[in-house]
Amino acid sequence: MMNKKEMDKDKIEQFINCNNIAVVGVSRNEKKFGNYIFDQLKEKGKIVFPVNPYLKEYKIQKCFNSNLELPDEVEAIIFVTKPNITNKLLASVFEKGIKNIWFQQGSSNSETLKMCDEKKLQYVHNACVLMYAEPVKSFHKVHEFIWKLLGKYAK
């Protein structure tokens, strides 16, 4: 039987191996972390889809108003939103059939995880996707090193 760290490692690898990833929480504010995640994943060669109901486009790319509007090729979704917003949007993820979900730190709570468990969905939470999406750069490399020292790193 796999321990929790091994299960997390499998979920992380499955997510990171996806090429078409939606980022819920891109913002008009260029300094928001959702934008940084979007930009970094795109730089790493992923096909990234921005989601924000208040934006028509993000960096000359169409911004989707909802998860239901996402193209069928989207395999995974990252939430960079507050838990109350994440929880409101989860039903659309279930309806769309997206099975790989990443909840960036601070974007989920116990209700979020319970909803995913009930639907038997793969999810990662309380970890930064940029610590696992190769190549790991800048302060995420330092963060990765610290997590390894503390035994929290799941890879």
Amino acid at 130: L
User: Judging by beta carbons within 10 Å of its beta carbon (0-12, 13-18, 19+), is residue 109 exposed, middle or buried?
Assistant: middle
Three-class DSSP category at 131? helix
What is the pTM for the complete model shown?
A: 0.84
Distance CA 129, CA 117 (A): 20
Task: Determine the pLDDT at residue 78.
Answer: 97
**What would the pLDDT profile of 59-102 be if each residue is shown by its tens digit?**
889 999 999 999 999 999 999 999 999 999 999 999 999 989 99
| Structure confidence by residue, pLDDT tens digits, 25-38 | 999 988 898 999 99
What domains appear along the chain, each with residue ranges and CATH number?
Answer: 4-150 (3.40.50.720)
Peptide bond into 83 cis (omega under 30): no
For residue 144, the number of C-alpha atoms closer than 13 Å in the C-beta half-sphere is 14
Strand order in the sheet with 122-125: 47-51, 20-24, 76-79, 100-103, 122-125
